[in-house]
Structure 1
Amino acid sequence: MSEEQLYGQRRRSRAGRGFSWVLALIVALVGLSFFIPTNYYVTRPGSAIELGPMIDVEGGKKDETGAFMLTTVRMGEANLAWYVYANLSPDAELMPKELVVSKGEDNEDFVRREQAVMDNSQKIAEAVAFRLAGYEVKVEKEGVWVMGTLDGLPAKKVLKIGDIITAVDGVRTAEAKDLLQALASKKAGDQVEITYTRDGQEAKTVVTLVPLPESKSVGIGVRPDNKQQIFIPKKVTIASQGIGGPSAGLMMALEILDQLDTAKDLTKGYKIAGTGTISLDGTVGRIGGINHKVIAADKAGAEIFFAPQDTPDATSNYQEALATAKRIGTSMQIVPVKNVADAIAYLDGRKPKSS
């Protein structure tokens, strides 16, 4: 071998070793990125789940031709790798951690809150569906639902997400406005006795009122919501383990109504997905991550997607859903709804799907 050939071989060998070191370094950095936390959560398309197998209404019937589906968003803490991915992909979004988990809360608090609002959404969906089917539904105000506790304030030490405040100094607090009224005449340093229930057990605690952040009033530091007891004439079982949040309310109401109405098939044979919170009057409300839900529904083969028409302009959930549908090129029909009745009217106007 000539000197030039030997030199060329050594040069290629050094270049090969250099490339191997660079490749090893890249692999190491990529691997390390999965262990470097960020101050963000990442959201991306979840799944579309048929509600028929999940919901059972006593004496009801289930369709075999079509299906109602709830849609989900996949969410998790973003490490550096997910942070980079979310900045490159149109199908992933970053959310500041403080918008997901309040200061002082942990993931357990987040899960408890999401499960609590899912439970409430289920009960409201049942009430709406039974009323639409012509049944009498009784609603009793149960108390003030603790949906969060503020870091550094008195409630943080004694109350948990999901607790229900039923009285202040022995005076019943049937809803959130009653709690505010009970504390309105108090001042910082005053002590009040809070009666609450946790997992069905009543308890009492005494807390000292403090000034609330960014407010002239005093309080205990909770994020309140209204909790009501709903009585329906038939048993409804909903197996939603692992699914949290309020956004399945619309679709659960439609599935329950479909099972109650044994005379017709509300689905008309279509695969129908959608999303939206629900109120006792049937109003459908705005949700987050609707772009991810449209993608999940499309992947599951849905033909119709109900989206909340929460505002009359381009910022509505409906317009967001339309934009995503156009971007991914789906043939799925995006339908705006302001009330459960809108969804029912749309389906009543459809011809049954031909087999």
Structure 2
Amino acid sequence: MKKISFWIKGLLLFVVFYFLFLRPIPYYIERPGSAEDLDPMIEVEGEYSSEPGKFMMTTVEILQATPFTYLFQFLPYNDVVSETELFGDIEDYEEYNTLQSYYMESSIHSAIVAAFDAAGLPYNLEYKGVYVMSVTENSNFAGILQMGDTITEVDDLKFENTEEFMDYIKSLEVGKTVSIKYERDGTEYISEGDLIELEETGESGIGISLVDQSSVETDPEVVIHSGEIGGPSAGLMYSLQVYSMVTNTNLRAGHIIAGTGTISEDGTIGPIGGIDKKVVAADEEGATIFFAPDEEIDSDLKEEYPDYKSNYEIAVEAAEDIDTDMEIVPVKTFNDAIKYLEQLSPVSSRFDPEQKVDALAA
């Protein structure tokens, strides 16, 4: 009898433990992630930077919640978001990761272009095709095309840009059968299907949302190893590392510099989410400087959301809250960041050896 009671108690404890600590619920925890040194991530002509100091990208960690971790929302810089808030119209975490991978790839592309433009170095942009962001339910290619596929040809025709691609599709009649060549994970496929009438415009279409897919070739060659990190927010810091390496300038001057922000090919820096958590992550890794996007807030947006704050304002508040000595630097463009770094004094020059000896002698 005692043995049966022991097993029943053990089973009950396991059930309680599972439902409290292991059972996932449709919420996610966003909290400070890491600040990653870019030296081992970026190579130019097969070489890695070994200059004093660091450029660091920052991340936000996302964990699926359990009933227990749901309580993390009461900890500083831990927020709970619903699946709808996190994924939007995306159906699952795999599609979310695919989208984040695209954003990272696009961010790398823009970062390299911005850095080479600023350095006055040549590069070559090559149009690869159309990147599939989503497929509508009524599309005759639903179940065939997937998010992340790249359409390279239609009816054996290649295109110079996405506008040419769209113009060709629009020129065909609804119901016309087209042959589409596309790439997925490095493998080419060909499928046929009929065009549909698009609800928004009444024109013929495949039934997909899309963006450009292109690559950039440079001399010297730049390779960025982003690993499993996704999203577009490392763009600014990638650009700074690449620029510093291709121009052979030690911009960081021995400082540990973190930051965040998207970057466009023309060098415009855009806002990102979770910047307060990234400030915390950078401070924990010893950063002394943090670049924060200082985006212009549209007057209509400010009128509708009076409490809306720029990334820079949020970053300053977080820095004050955690009482860090890290300097928060507002930047609107890539050139803003370069100008700030160019006036930095080297870390070593802060200390006068003779003064140090005198201090010790005293």
Q: TM-score range by the shorter chain?
A: 0.7 to 0.9
Choose which of 312, 336, 341 in structure 2 pairs with 1:342. 336
More displaced stretch, 142-151 vs 173-182: 173-182
Choose which of 13, 34, 41 in structure 2 pairs with 1:47. 34
Choose which of 190, 210, 223 in structure 2 pairs with 1:224. 210
Choose which of 123, 126, 133 in structure 2 pairs with 1:147. 133
Paired residues, what number? 330
Q: Is the alpha carbon distance of 1:34 and 1:285 closer, same or farther for their aligned partners in structure 2, counting shifts above 3 Å?
A: same
Q: So what's the TM-score if we normalise by structure 2?
A: 0.80
CA distance in 1, matches of 2:216, 2:136: 29
Partner of 2:263: 278
CA distance in 2, matches of 1:304, 1:25: 51
Partner of 1:82: 69
Q: In the TM superposition, what whole-angstrom CA distance separates every residue of 1:39-89 from its partner, at most 9, and x where no partner exists?
A: 222211100011012212127672432110000111122222232322x23
Q: How much does 1:27 deviate?
A: 9.8
CA distance in 2, matches of 1:48, 1:151: 40
Partner of 1:56: 43
CA distance in 2, matches of 1:216, 1:291: 44
Partner of 2:254: 269
Q: Is the alpha carbon distance of 1:25 and 1:291 closer, same or farther for their aligned partners in structure 2, counting shifts above 3 Å?
A: farther
**Quick one: which amino acid aligns to residue 285 of structure 2?**
A
Q: Is the contact between residue 286 and residue 308 of structure 1 (CA under 8 Å) also seen in structure 2? A: yes
The unaligned stretches of length 5 or more in structure 2 are 1-10, 299-307, 352-362
More displaced stretch, 305-314 vs 275-284: 305-314
Partner of 1:137: 123
Percent identity of paired positions between Structure 1 and Structure 2: 38
Q: How much does 1:169 deviate?
A: 3.8
Q: Is the alpha carbon distance of 1:219 and 1:329 closer, same or farther for their aligned partners in structure 2, counting shifts above 3 Å?
A: farther
Partner-residue secondary structure (3-state), 1:41: strand
Structure 2 matches for 1:157-236, cutoff 5 A? 157-184=143-170, 189-210=175-196, 219-236=205-222
Q: How much does 1:113 deviate?
A: 2.4
Partner of 2:96: 110
Choose which of 33, 40, 53 in structure 2 pairs with 1:66. 53
Choose which of 21, 29, 33 in structure 2 pairs with 1:34. 21
Q: In the TM superposition, what whole-angstrom CA distance separates every residue of 1:295-318 from its partner, at most 9, and x where no partner exists?
A: 101111111111112224753222
Q: Is the alpha carbon distance of 1:104 and 1:128 closer, same or farther for their aligned partners in structure 2, counting shifts above 3 Å?
A: closer
Partner of 1:289: 274
Q: Is the alpha carbon distance of 1:211 and 1:63 closer, same or farther for their aligned partners in structure 2, counting shifts above 3 Å?
A: same
Q: Is the alpha carbon distance of 1:221 and 1:318 closer, same or farther for their aligned partners in structure 2, counting shifts above 3 Å?
A: farther
More displaced stretch, 130-139 vs 25-34: 25-34
Partner of 1:6: none
CA distance in 2, matches of 1:99, 1:283: 27
Does residue 95 of the first structure (1) align with residue 95 of the second (2)?
A: no
Partner-residue secondary structure (3-state), 1:90: coil
Q: How much does 1:161 deviate?
A: 2.8
CA distance in 1, matches of 2:340, 2:93: 39
More displaced stretch, 243-252 vs 193-202: 193-202
More displaced stretch, 323-332 vs 66-75: 323-332
More displaced stretch, 113-122 vs 281-290: 113-122
Task: Select the structure of larger CA radius of gyration.
Answer: 1
Q: Is the contact between residue 61 and residue 260 of structure 1 (CA under 8 Å) also seen in structure 2? A: no
Q: Is the contact between residue 39 and residue 48 of structure 2 (CA under 8 Å) also seen in structure 1? A: no
CA distance in 1, matches of 2:126, 2:313: 36
Choose which of 123, 126, 130 in structure 1 pairs with 2:112. 126
**Quick one: which amino acid aligns to residue 136 of structure 1?**
P
More displaced stretch, 336-345 vs 236-245: 236-245
Q: So what's the TM-score if we normalise by structure 1?
A: 0.81
CA distance in 1, matches of 2:199, 2:23: 33
CA distance in 2, matches of 1:75, 1:213: 36
Structure 2 matches for 1:323-338, cutoff 5 A? 323-338=317-332
The unaligned stretches of length 5 or more in structure 1 are 1-23
Partner-residue secondary structure (3-state), 2:68: helix
CA distance in 1, matches of 2:196, 2:66: 37
Partner of 2:238: 252
Partner-residue secondary structure (3-state), 2:320: helix
> What CA RMSD, in Å, does the superposition of the two structures yield over aligned residues?
2.9
